[in-house]
Structure 1
Amino acid sequence: MMSYDRDNSRNGRRQRKSFKRSRARGWGMGLYRNTRDGKVGGVCAGLADHFDIAHWVMRLMWVGGFLFTGTLALWAYLAAWILLSPQPSRYGGAAQGDDTDDSVAMEYDERYHDYRPRRAFRYPEPGTVRLNRARERLDDALRRVENMESYVTSRRFNLDREFSRL
């Protein structure tokens, strides 16, 4: 009986540690409360940062959810407030208020001029802008290759090569 209680208490501690560690890491998805830009608890601002939409849009969605579902949206907000940890500090340390030493990969976000948790598959510009930028780089590379070809086939290249042989 005594060993059974001891095993259950160890499992409970392990689960609490695992819960705290997952919460501090943003549940593996980069989900955090944005307490700096948030109005009440930072839940809407954090979700807006995660989905890369404007904060006011997420707040409007919450108000719409509250109007259509009643207190269910309020309970969901409170649950998210408890389950989401505050956004990590800008230097990649543990989340604010947590005593864990797990670091979160951070990247500099040009639009917000601040460090944010690194996210996979998050693109700040639309696809057309990225495609045009790639096209410009390819055109620049093609221009340099054309310049190199015209130099190699010119008389000046032959003259420079003869001088280098001396």
Structure 2
Amino acid sequence: MTRKCRGELYRNTSQGKLAGVCAGIADYFGWETWLVRILVVSGVLLGMGWFVVIYIAAWFILDKKPANAGHSKFKQGVHEQSQSSRQASGQQEAEDITQESIKVKSRIWQAGEPPKQAFHDIRRKFQTLERELQTIERYVTSPEFTVSREINKL
């Protein structure tokens, strides 16, 4: 059985309620955040007060989860030239949709989306990609592209 590399353990302050420790642990193990919170609160209520000490220590020891470096740049050429025909907000939304990852959970405690919701998200992603491909094809088959190509050959 191969073990999946989980990466670093961080505090996830964007999804956290207090300091993001439970959200970070949930991200690390691939669990739902609510499950980790219930386990911690249950432990404290059932007399395991050292959970509070561990939580506070983790708050100070763990680094905040770094923000994503941004979306990758699209290839130059046809796509860049067709950008002028799009609205900036619509394009940014399309980039966000195509860059997001979709995780499907197979068990209730795992992080991710139920299969039905994941199917709808994947369908939306493919529809966005289809519209983008149609825009590129429209530009490549236009006389504007032919003229630009001939000018670039000079």
Band the TM-score falls in, shorter-chain normalisation = 0.3 to 0.5
| Greater length-normalized contact order (CA 8 Å, ≥ 6 residues apart) | 2
Q: TM-score, normalised by structure 2?
A: 0.42
